Amino acid sequence: MSAPDLVAFVAKALVDDPDAVSVEVHDDEGTQVIELHVSEEDMGKVIGRNGSVAKAMRTLLKVVATREGTPIALEIV
């Protein structure tokens, strides 16, 4: 499973409106930047209390980045 697919899968499992979830990928100086877009009402569910869910998603991405050999960053917008 690729990193963007993993982010979309986890986000859709967390939110009330999975149809509003979208993932965009772009490169920024050698780093793959994944932008996660969710509805305003679901933003708290994706970020979590004190950022715990976002931190867990970033930890998963570190594993994928190590396997692929490319730095990956997650931005939640």
**Domain ranges (residues) in the chain:** 3-76
CATH of domain 3-76: 3.30.300.20
- Provide mean pLDDT across the span 50-75: 94
Please give the share of the chain, as a percent, with pLDDT higher than 90: 91
Cβ distance 3 to 32 under 8 Å? yes
**What's the DSSP call for residue 69?**
T
Question: CA separation (Å) from 31 to 23, 27, 65?
Answer: 16, 6, 10
Q: Which of 24, 33, 35 is nearest to 71 (CA)?
A: 33
pTM above threshold 0.85: yes
**pLDDT category, 55, cuts 50, 70, 90?**
very high
Is there a contact between 41 and 21 (Cβ–Cβ < 8 Å)?
A: no
